[in-house]
Amino acid sequence: MARLSEKIGYGFGDMSSSMFWKVFSYYLPFFYSNVFGLSLVDAGVLVLVTRIWDAVSDPMMGIIADRTQTRWGKYRPYLLWVAPLFSIAGILLFTTPDWTYGAKLIYAYATYIFMMTIYTAINVPYGAMLGVMTDDSQEKTVFSSFRMFFAYGGSFVALAAWEPLVNFFKASGGATSLAWQHAMMVIAAACFVLFLLTFALTRERLKTVSTVSIAGDFRSLLSNRPWWLLIGAALCFNLFCTVRGATVAYYFADIIGFDARLHFPSFGKGLEVGFLFYAGLFLSVGEVSNMVGVALTVPLARRLGKKSLFMAVNAVLLVLSVAFFFIPVSPTGFWLMLLFQVLISILTGMMSPLVWSMYADVSDYAELRYKTASTGLIFSSSSMAQKFGGAIGGAAVLWLLSACGYMPRSDEQMVNQVLISQPESALLCLRMLMSFIPAIVALMAIITCHFYPLTAERMADINRQLKEARGEG
């Protein structure tokens, strides 16, 4: 049984990754189109191309990590080696050079590809650590839950702090572009420290050695039916989150407005109590709610099984997403939107630890059936699905908005928070991106997961056979 400090330490790693990932997913499209100065079409192509490269590079990193041997283990040393580059890449990504449009576009490609390559180099080994820290399927779910609890905690901190940080640096006299860069410097410093803590507090316990070649690893992976099904389900989940998340900044700027407020009942004579209802609040409340979902995952997964819980969660997400479309834009509607964000985020909070734990099960299945210790390659596929979902979702949001006639703001309009008149087609597109489109993705996840074969009973038998094969029985 692993110590509590180790579980917390493992959680710090995804706390760091998620602080970057959520800022990238939710604010980078908006940054490129409204601060950096790219057109919506160019920004969409950029997001798609770079994340596809990033996804393709994941299996390469998985193979490298699987064959790394150091006194610290296979995967853990990458946390130490790559952490400084991770922070530097994030800062470069949110830097806006004063160049021509073409030169800036090249810079955007270079820095985004660099950032995603570094993200792969640290996050694939980090994810694969779950497969070698314990051989107990239930404890893997516990580790995964700690991971996601801290991930959502980090996301909450980053999202809640992002707009106040940007506004603080703006108020200090900096241009909008410099304010975004300086805000990222603060986040990057915190991420660097968190990865060092993960390295210091964790250990690899299982010594796995592959008995097949790299080509054999790939052949076994491609014939691994549970892997294919889980890839599809995970891609749908990440697509669901990315589409909603990447739309929020636009939704608040053009449907909710910059000065919307959540009002409480009046206290005393004519005294009205309320606070600003803005994108950062909406997203950060979602991150706290994600943490609640993570805490519910272990007991619900033990009671229902991982597969059944995955399908049930997506079914409820489908219903809530459709209902979100009909919420009115009004003071009462703002509270309903926040309530739905809480409920949806609790459910998506359950999904993340489930997916990671299911990948660990797929790794055990592969070791038993194919005699290959390809934990890094299998876990890299989870990162690949995440990034494909992000690539498709982020690009689709930008392209759909462009097709529907969405008009980006100028730098001056951004600074002054000018509310511009968008065509009705663009406003309808924004509402669909927050409701019916994610609902369709949730339905696709249910259908895919229905065919996933690694039930609780099947995994109990696999774990028993693996212990005998490893001489642990």
419-470 pLDDT, tens digit each: 778 899 999 999 999 999 999 999 999 999 999 999 888 988 988 888 887 6
pLDDT surpasses 60 at 148: yes
What the chain holds in terms of domains, given with CATH numbers, is 4-463 (1.20.1250.20)
Question: Please, which pLDDT band fits residue 322 given cuts at 50, 70 and 90?
Answer: very high
Q: What is the per-residue pLDDT for 434?
A: 95
376 in Cβ contact with 128 (< 8 Å): yes
Among 3-7, 98-102, 256-260, 322-326, the least confident range: 256-260
Give the global pTM: 0.72
Percent with pLDDT over 90 in the chain: 42
Question: Please, which pLDDT band fits residue 209 given cuts at 50, 70 and 90?
Answer: low
pLDDT surpasses 80 at 317: yes
Q: What is the per-residue pLDDT for 385?
A: 67
Q: What is the per-residue pLDDT for 422?
A: 85
Q: What is the per-residue pLDDT for 17?
A: 92
Q: Who wins on pLDDT, 422 or 84?
A: 84
Collapsing DSSP to helix, strand or coil, 250 comes out as helix
Q: What is the per-residue pLDDT for 409?
A: 67
128 in Cβ contact with 75 (< 8 Å): yes
Report the C-alpha gap between 111 and 102 in whole angstroms: 14
Report the C-alpha gap between 119 and 150 in whole angstroms: 18
Per-residue pLDDT of 395-409, as tens digits, reads: 888 889 999 998 876
Lookup: tokens for 378: 């299998």
Q: What is the per-residue pLDDT for 212?
A: 59
Q: What is the per-residue pLDDT for 312?
A: 96
* Residue 183, amino acid: A
Collapsing DSSP to helix, strand or coil, 50 comes out as helix
Q: What is the per-residue pLDDT for 259?
A: 81
pLDDT surpasses 80 at 90: yes
Q: What is the mean pLDDT of residues 25-40?
A: 86
Question: Please, which pLDDT band fits residue 283 given cuts at 50, 70 and 90?
Answer: confident
CB-side exposure of 27: number of CA atoms within 13 Å?
24
Report the C-alpha gap between 329 and 331 in whole angstroms: 7
pLDDT surpasses 70 at 299: yes
Question: Please, which pLDDT band fits residue 216 given cuts at 50, 70 and 90?
Answer: confident
Q: What is the mean pLDDT of residues 279-292?
A: 87
Q: What is the mean pLDDT of residues 354-361?
A: 86
pLDDT surpasses 80 at 54: no
Q: What is the per-residue pLDDT for 265?
A: 64
Q: What is the per-residue pLDDT for 432?
A: 96
Q: Who wins on pLDDT, 249 or 434?
A: 434
Please, which residues have CB within 8 angstroms of residue 161's CB and are 6 or more apart in sequence? 183, 186, 187
Q: What is the mean pLDDT of residues 95-112?
A: 95
Which residue in 135, 346, 366, 343 sits closest to 230, CA to CA?
366
Report the C-alpha gap between 282 and 27 in whole angstroms: 13
Among 5-19, 213-227, 421-435, the least confident range: 213-227
pLDDT surpasses 70 at 267: no
CB-side exposure of 254: number of CA atoms within 13 Å?
24
What's the whole-number average pLDDT of the chain? 86
